[in-house]
Structure 1
Amino acid sequence: MREVTVPLPHPLRSDAVDNRERIVRAARTLFATEGLDVPMREIARHAGVGPATLYRRFPTKRTLVCEVFAEEVRACHAVVAEGLADPDPWRGFRRVIEKTCELHIHSLGFTEAFMAAYPDAMDFAADRAQMLGSLAELARRAQRTGDLRPDFVPDDLILLLQAHRGLHATSTATRQAASRRFAALMIQSFQTSPERTPLPPAPRPAPPRNT
């Protein structure tokens, strides 16, 4: 029998690797601040490459979105897995809410993709379904201990993220402060008998500019 060899894919040249990294960095920045509706041509311009180069590396926006947010998806899975592994279900549930808000405050685009608001990013549907299924199991455990209100459903997390998406501020520190307080308020609303612990401080609004 004649041995059949399959040619190995050629590694990308260093300039091609550099272009790819620049495209991903530019897309991550623009998706985070402007959401997923930003045009591909704007991403190419921001990356300093031509549209042909962008489409050669990422033929569709879907492939680019999945590449940009692969790390965030892994982080979300890790957050939920950590919550499930906690021997105290309520503490695990609470940490999932806190860390999920922390992840989503940094990127408007990731929130849109996670909530399936971007129809072409269907790869996120399976990840979202898996994470919501794991969250549902964690919620059932917290409900059995009597800490989580019995009428909580996993879709409440989507409602939470929809409301969380509305947090806007010019500075990152202000957005983060607002996110922490929002998460604390939501956690207390989910708890059967809310603890009267102090909330994180509310962010101060920026003073108006002099005209």
Structure 2
Amino acid sequence: MTADSESGRALRSDAERNRQRVLAAARELFAARGLEPNLNDVAHHANVGVGTVYRRFPTKEDLMEAIFEHGIDQIAALAESALQQEDSWEGFVWFVEHLCELTATDRGLREMVYSKAYGGYRVECARLRLDPPVTRLVERARADGHLRPDIEPSDMPIVSLLAGTVSEWAGHVEPALWRRYVALLLDGMRNHDGQGRLAVSALEDEQMDTAMRGWLPAG
């Protein structure tokens, strides 16, 4: 191996380390503050030069794209893991709790996933990937009689948004408060004898799309 090739490998290795450092700093910053911080803020948080950030991610959109893909990978992995659980109710509960943990502790992720302000095509791609496993989770729990019959897959993002809202409002007082309300929501979603139908139906796809287009987070 020549000195030039060794030098090239070292430079590529340094570049990848810097890229991962920037991504980690951005995820941490966006999780705490939402999508308002700019690339200069990310550079400061990562303790690297601004040029280092711009070489890896020329625009904030490029940086958000990488973070968005990571977040969707996390949610998809949660859904697939939940489907592997033999008991459909336990799998459903496990998924809802872990999904809510993500959205309650990562403000930036919930702003990206549940608003179309930062690129509707990303949200559409995420929906195509996430809808099938989430639908299977809901339908399986309903078919087994665990989940009330009027719960729909489109209820899941709204439940996770509720957890995020609690965390954003009172997380500085009690970081785990969202867990209390997720437990209450899960109890309300469980099938019981004598339940009447919910007064309002779940959002349909077109309504969900309209709601996502209307929510414009501060970033």
* Cα separation, 1, equivalents of 2:18 and 2:108: 22
Is the deviation greater in 60-69 or in 33-42? 60-69
Partners of 1:101 and 1:164 within 8 A in 2: yes
Following TM superposition, by how much is the alpha carbon of 1:102 offset from its aligned partner in structure 2, in angstroms?
Answer: 1.8
Following TM superposition, by how much is the alpha carbon of 1:98 offset from its aligned partner in structure 2, in angstroms?
Answer: 1.0
Following TM superposition, by how much is the alpha carbon of 1:91 offset from its aligned partner in structure 2, in angstroms?
Answer: 1.7
The alignment status of 1:120 with 2:101, answered yes or no, reads no
**1:45-60 → structure 2 map (5 Å cutoff):** 45-60=44-59
Q: Report the residue type matching 1:48 in the other structure.
A: N
Identify, as 1 or 2, the structure richer in helix. 2
Following TM superposition, by how much is the alpha carbon of 1:22 offset from its aligned partner in structure 2, in angstroms?
Answer: 2.9
The alignment status of 1:148 with 2:147, answered yes or no, reads yes
Identity %: 31
The change in CA–CA distance for 1:62 and 1:78 in structure 2 (over 3 A counts) is same
The change in CA–CA distance for 1:127 and 1:12 in structure 2 (over 3 A counts) is farther
Partners of 2:96 and 2:160 within 8 A in 1: no
Following TM superposition, by how much is the alpha carbon of 1:12 offset from its aligned partner in structure 2, in angstroms?
Answer: 6.6
* Cα separation, 1, equivalents of 2:183 and 2:89: 14
Q: Report the residue type matching 1:25 in the other structure.
A: A
Q: Which has the higher contact order (CA 8 A, sep 6+)?
A: 2
SS of 2:124's equivalent in the other structure is: helix
TM-score normalised according to structure 2 size: 0.72
Could you tell me which residue of structure 1 aligns to residue 172 of structure 2?
170
* Cα separation, 2, equivalents of 1:19 and 1:87: 42
**1:20-35 → structure 2 map (5 Å cutoff):** 20-35=19-34
Q: Report the residue type matching 1:170 in the other structure.
A: H
Q: Report the residue type matching 2:58 in the other structure.
A: P
Partners of 2:146 and 2:190 within 8 A in 1: yes
Kindly provide the CA deviation profile for residues 14-54 of structure 1, in whole angstroms up to 9, marking residues without a partner as x: 54334323322221121011111222222123223343332
The alignment status of 1:74 with 2:43, answered yes or no, reads no
